[in-house]
Structure 1
Amino acid sequence: MDVVCLASWNADLISRVPRPIARGETLLASQFEIGPGGKGSNAAVAAARQGAQVAVIARIGDDDFGRMALALWHREGIDTNHVEVAAGERSGVAQILVYEGGDNSIAVYLGAGGRLGPSHAQAAEATIAAARVVMAPNEVPIEATLAAFRIARAHGVTTVLNPAPARPLPNELLALTDLLTPNEGELRGLVGMDDSVPVEDAAQALHARGTGTVLVTLGEHGACLVRPGTAPRRIPGHRVTVADTVGAGDTCTGALAAALARGLDLDTAALLANAAAALSVTGAGAISAMPSLARTEALAAGSG
């Protein structure tokens, strides 16, 4: 495998409403759909569509939503040899509200995925050791990510962490992370800095805790690549028509991992990841508009 992903999985229950809902308020939704989701699963799909050979390490329920996951991964050509189907447990669910303009709010129940642990990473040690990149989101238990990243570091495998949803991270995990892909809010939460501090400075604060490169996603404003000992690089955004932003950060992480697995340099990989994320917001749901490598390269060609 080129890329191994600790994959959180959930079924997305998506309602489209005009605006955020106040406490105690009921709003009528204009649309409802059920689709595949989970930050780890989304990133795995994004990497596969960018041409990487991908394997997932995951734990899902023995239910219709779990079967949805297996069908998706098989359809996308993703290896599922390290997926545990947990009898008597429910798969994860995300309740997503999408507002006019494309922004969203999400509540996630991890379900069976919440019990993914170090033993699952250890059982996949040979697969991790033979990969080029291992990636994980904050939706999987930190203990599982730590175990996988320790194995990766021991075998010289690049590690990529998407720190979403935002929560405190131990210094050991940050030090095992070669690339971190937060959005601006997640970055500031990790370092305890407010909006008055430039994102470049906030990202550099993570270097002191052992983190390698930080690629900060900035929505319509693109991204910022911050490496230790190198001047930060701003990557401009792309002008696209936004359907919704669900899955954009996951697409960025998956496309970045796939590009690095192909042996591309960081600058080129970041340009491709930024372009893939931009294309991903042009369709509804987490994965419907995740692009192919050809489409991503075509858009990134104008990024310089």
Structure 2
Amino acid sequence: MSNLDYPEYLAFGDIGIDIGVSIPHLPRPDEKLWADMVGEFPGGMAANAASAFTALGGKGGVVATIGPDRFGQIAMDDLQTRGVDIRSVRLGEDPTFWTLALLTPDGEKSLVQFHTPAVSANWLTFDWSLLPKASIVHAIPDDEIQVLHLFERSRESGLINSLDFEGSLERWPRLEKVLALTDILFTNRPTAESLNTEIERAAHQFKAMGAGNVAITLGDQGCLLLDGSNDFYRIPGHRVTAVDTTGAGDCFAGAFAFGWFNGWTPLECAQLANLMAAMSTTAYGSRGRLLSGKEISDLAKQTDYD
């Protein structure tokens, strides 16, 4: 096989199902709420990022684990339909990972995740000979030691490493070692504020820890970018009618990587990702509306990005 037959972008992480329910507001302690079922939607951070990269015209692949159940089959069928490379997805014995997405009328969400061993990337049977054939490797906050090993091997092969990090910084004691091998760091406001309540300073702190470029997503307020030259950008959000923000950050990561793969500047990558993520919130499901390259190009002509 030639490299044309292999993914350009390999996302290591999870494949899952999001069960969306509509509620009037997020529940308060001891409060009971009526909920309406919205639907079952394929999800997973790695799968979403690879799907966004592929939707724009790239060749995305996912390295993950699913269970021998209906959820796993739904997720795999969706990825195949989208053209995502699934050769590195392992069929395990544990149930497929799933999430309960609590959706409010303004499109915001809270997620309740039901953990299973199948949430991890396919570290067990991944064919490491595939790694040098890619151009960009993407990882989520999975097994810290495995991600560090992955980034070391990909760096040896001259690949770009991107990390979507969220959650507690304390649970990754080797974070600085990982960031020293990270070309592009994606994180969100809560995670950044856990490092420093001033977002701009948090970006500089992440960069001082080793990250080459730092992108912080801010929901409907857009994103912040601190690039490899220490240039700082605040990119405003787009006015859209959001119904479900689940997976918007994953979409952002995949779209940013697509721009990077095609030689765009970090600012151009962030602008593309910002627009792609905003549009992804206008339909239910984390992959409910992933625009194609032509669609995003046509839409960009209506913004300041053209």
* Same-fold status (TM-score > 0.5): yes
Query: How far does the alpha carbon of each residue in 1:115-149 deviate from its partner, in whole angstroms, 9 at most, with x for none?
Result: 546444xx3322221111111222x3223322221
Deviations 1:28-87 (A, max 9, x none): 113331111111111111111011111111111111111112111111111111111013
Question: What's the secondary structure of 2:295's corresponding residue?
Answer: helix
> What is the distance in 1 between the residues matched to 2:13 and 2:52?
12
Counterpart for residue 46 of structure 2: 40
CA distance in 1, matches of 2:120, 2:236: 39
Contact in 2 for aligned 1:271/1:300 (Cα 8 Å): no
2:82 pairs with 1:76: yes
136, 154, 161: which one pairs with 1:159?
Answer: 161
Q: 1:191-270 maps to which residues of 2 (within 5 A)?
A: 191=195, 193-194=196-197, 197=198, 199-270=199-270
Q: How far apart, in 2, do the equivalents of 1:167 and 1:25 lie?
A: 31
* Residue 8 (structure 1) shift: 0.6
What displacement does 1:167 show?
4.4
Q: What SS does structure 2 have at the residue aligned with 1:181?
A: strand
* Contact 1:236–1:303 (CA under 8 A) maintained in structure 2: no
1:183 aligns with 2:192: no
CA distance in 1, matches of 2:12, 2:218: 24
1:49 matches 2:51:
no
In 2, Cα distance between equivalents of 1:276 and 1:166:
27
1:171 aligns with 2:172: no
* Equivalent in the alignment of 1:125: 128
8 A contact 2:214–2:225 mirrored in 1: yes
Note closer, same or farther for the CA distance 1:298–1:201 as it changes in structure 2 (3 Å cut). farther
What percentage of aligned pairs have identical amino acids?
28
| Distance in structure 1 (CA, Å) of the matches to 2:115 and 2:278 | 27
**Aligned-residue offset at 1:156:** 1.2
Residues in 1 aligned to 2:149 and 2:115: alpha-carbon distance in whole angstroms: 19
Q: Tell me how large the CA RMSD over aligned residues is.
A: 1.7
- In structure 2, distance between residues paired with 1:303 and 1:216: 20
AA aligned opposite 1:25: E
For structure 1, the 5+ residue unaligned runs are none
Answer whether contact 2:88 2:122 (CA < 8 A) is retained: no
The one-letter amino acid of 2:185's match is L
> C-alpha distance in 2, partners of 1:49/1:58?
19
What per-residue deviation string (whole Å, max 9, x for no partner) do you get for residues 94-130 of structure 1? 011011211111011232334546444xx33222211
- The alpha-carbon deviation at position 178 of structure 1 amounts to 0.7
Report the equivalent of 2:3: none
- SS of the residue aligned with 2:78? helix
2:107 to 102, 114, 132: 102
TM-score, structure 2 length as denominator? 0.90
- The 1:177–1:49 alpha-carbon spacing in structure 2 relative to 1, beyond 3 Å, is same
- Post-superposition offset of 1:260: 1.4
Would the aligned equivalents of 1:204 and 1:228 in 2 still touch at CA under 8 Å? no
Deviation (angstroms), 1:161: 1.0
Match of 1:293 in 2: 293
SS in 1 for 2:87: strand
Does the Cα contact within 8 Å between 1:161 and 1:177 map onto a contact in 2?
Answer: yes
Give the CA deviation at 1:228.
4.2
SS in 2 for 1:79: coil
Deviation, 1:166, is 4.8
Is the CA contact (8 Å cut-off) linking 1:128 and 1:148 kept in structure 2?
no
Using the size of structure 1 for normalisation, the TM-score is 0.91
For residue 155 of structure 1, what is the amino acid of its counterpart?
Answer: S
- Give 3-state SS (helix, strand or coil) of 2:66's partner: strand
Q: 2:34 maps to which residue?
A: 28
Do the aligned partners of 1:133 and 1:157 also contact (CA within 8 Å) in 2?
yes
